[in-house]
Amino acid sequence: MKGTPLSLSEAITSSPTTPSTRQPTPNSSTNAPPTTASSELPTPASSTIPLPPPISSPPSSSPSTPAPAASSTPATYSTESPNQTSFAYNSMLLAYNTMRSPHPHSSALLSSLPPHLKPDAFSLSVLLKSSPPSHLLRPIHAFALRNILLSDLFVANGLISAYGKTGNLRSARLLFDTMPSRDIVSWNSIISAYAHSGHYDQCLRLYHILENGVDGVLPNGVTVTCVLHACAHLQDLVSGMTVHKSAVDSGIVFDNVVWNSVVAFYAKCGSLDYARALFEEMPERDAVSYNTLISGYMSYGFVDKAGSLSTDG
Q: Could you tell me if 160 and 186 are in contact, meaning their C-beta atoms sit under 8 angstroms apart?
A: yes
**Shortest CA distance to 38 belongs to which of 156, 173, 146?**
146
Alpha helices in the chain (DSSP H): 8-13, 86-96, 102-111, 121-129, 134-146, 153-165, 169-178, 184-196, 200-211, 221-234, 237-249, 256-268, 272-281, 287-299, 303-312
When pLDDT is averaged across residues 262-278 and rounded to a whole number, the result is: 97
Q: What is the pLDDT of residue 123?
A: 82
Q: What is the pLDDT of residue 8?
A: 64
Interval 206-241: pLDDT, tens: 999 999 988 999 999 999 999 999 999 999 999 999
Interval 1-42: pLDDT, tens: 455 555 666 666 554 544 444 444 445 444 544 444 444 444
| 55, pLDDT greater than 70 | no
DSSP 3-state assignment of 216? helix
Q: Could you tell me if 125 and 152 are in contact, meaning their C-beta atoms sit under 8 angstroms apart?
A: yes
Q: What is the pLDDT of residue 132?
A: 78
Q: How far is CA 42 from CA 5, 45, 47, 138, 175, in A?
A: 10, 9, 10, 10, 13
Average pLDDT, the chain: 78
- Give this prediction's pTM: 0.70
When pLDDT is averaged across residues 249-260 and rounded to a whole number, the result is: 96
**Shortest CA distance to 173 belongs to which of 211, 200, 202, 148?**
202
Q: Across 76-85, 138-147, 183-192, which has the greatest mean pLDDT? A: 183-192
CA distance 101 to 80: 28
More confident residue, 182 or 82: 182
Per-residue pLDDT band at 126 (split at 50, 70, 90): confident
More confident residue, 46 or 144: 144
Q: What is the pLDDT of residue 96?
A: 63
| 56, pLDDT greater than 50 | no
Q: What is the pLDDT of residue 235?
A: 96
Q: What is the pLDDT of residue 11?
A: 60
For the chain, give the percent of residues with pLDDT over 90.
51
Q: What is the pLDDT of residue 10?
A: 62
When pLDDT is averaged across residues 146-157 and rounded to a whole number, the result is: 94
CA count, 13 A, side-chain hemisphere, 118: 16
| 49, pLDDT greater than 50 | no
When pLDDT is averaged across residues 256-280 and rounded to a whole number, the result is: 97
Residue 247 DSSP one-character state: H
Q: What is the pLDDT of residue 51?
A: 38
Q: Could you tell me if 126 and 93 are in contact, meaning their C-beta atoms sit under 8 angstroms apart?
A: yes
Q: What is the pLDDT of residue 135?
A: 86
| 295, pLDDT greater than 50 | yes
Interval 94-113: pLDDT, tens: 676 565 554 555 555 555 56
